[in-house]
Amino acid sequence: MAHRPRRNLYQLINRNRWATYLFIGLFSLILALIGYTLGHLFHWGIGTYALFALFIILYNTILYYNSDRLALAVNR
């Protein structure tokens, strides 16, 4: 049975950092698609897109800087 090579702490941190960026990017894309769909279906205009863009930027900023506290709060 072949063993996987062990990763050091810095490799694990780098992998988690890229996973976080991927998650934030995909979730932002989903929110942008929801905003676009709602704006298009209800004919709310360009203000809807700007509002969703502002929400996405604010949400990602709060999520990125408070993710450690959120993880600790969930796990007690």
pLDDT in tens, 9-42: 999 999 988 998 898 899 889 988 988 888 888 8
Query: What's the pTM value of the predicted model, to 2 decimals?
Result: 0.69
- Of residues 3 and 36, more confidently modeled: 36
* Dist CA 59 CA 56 (whole Å): 5
Structure confidence at residue 30 (pLDDT): 92
Structure confidence at residue 76 (pLDDT): 78
* Dist CA 23 CA 30 (whole Å): 11
Structure confidence at residue 1 (pLDDT): 63
Phi-psi domain of 43 (left: phi exceeds 0; alpha: psi -120 through 50; beta: other):
left
Report yes or no: 24 and 60 within 8 Å, Cβ to Cβ: yes
